[in-house]
Copies of this chain bind each other. A is one copy, B any other.
Amino acid sequence: MTIELSARVTCTDCPIRHRAVCAYCTGDELDVLEQLKSYKTFKAGEPILWRADKLTYVGSLVHGVATLSKTLEDGRTQMVGLLLPSDFIGRPGRSEIEFDVVAVTDVTLCCFQIKPFEALIASTPHVAQRLVEMALDELDVAREWMLLLGRKTAREKIATFVQMLVQRQHIAGTDLPGQALSLPLTQEQIANYLGLTLETVSRQLGIMKKNGILRFSDRRHFEVIDFPALQLATGDDSDGGVLV
Q: Which residues of A contact B (CB under 8 A)?
A: 68, 70, 72-74, 76-78, 80-81, 91-94, 98-99, 129, 132-133, 135-136, 138-140, 142-147, 149-152, 194-195, 235-238, 241
Contacts and interface: CB of A to CB of B under 8 A. Distances in A.
A74 B148 CA distance: 14
A238 B73 contact: yes
A78 B135 contact: no
Nearest to A76: B151
Nearest to A121: B132
A146 B235 CA distance: 19
A73 B147 contact: no
Contact of A98 (B98, B194, B238, B241): B241
B146 A142 contact: yes
A78 B151 contact: yes
B73 A146 contact: no
> Which 7 A-B pairs rank lowest in CB-CB distance, beginning with the nearest?
A150-B195, A149-B149, A142-B142, A80-B143, A78-B150, A149-B150, A78-B147
What copy number does this chain have within its complex? 2
A228 B136 CA distance: 36
Nearest to A93: B133
B136 A94 contact: yes
A81 B81 CA distance: 18
A135 to B, nearest CB: 5
Contact of A139 (B93, B135, B236): B135
A72 B235 contact: yes
A194 B150 CA distance: 7
A147 B80 contact: yes
A126 to B, nearest CB: 13
A180 to B, nearest CB: 29
Nearest to A92: B132
A72 B132 contact: no
A139 B94 CA distance: 13
A146 B147 contact: no
Contacts of A135: 132, 135-136, 139
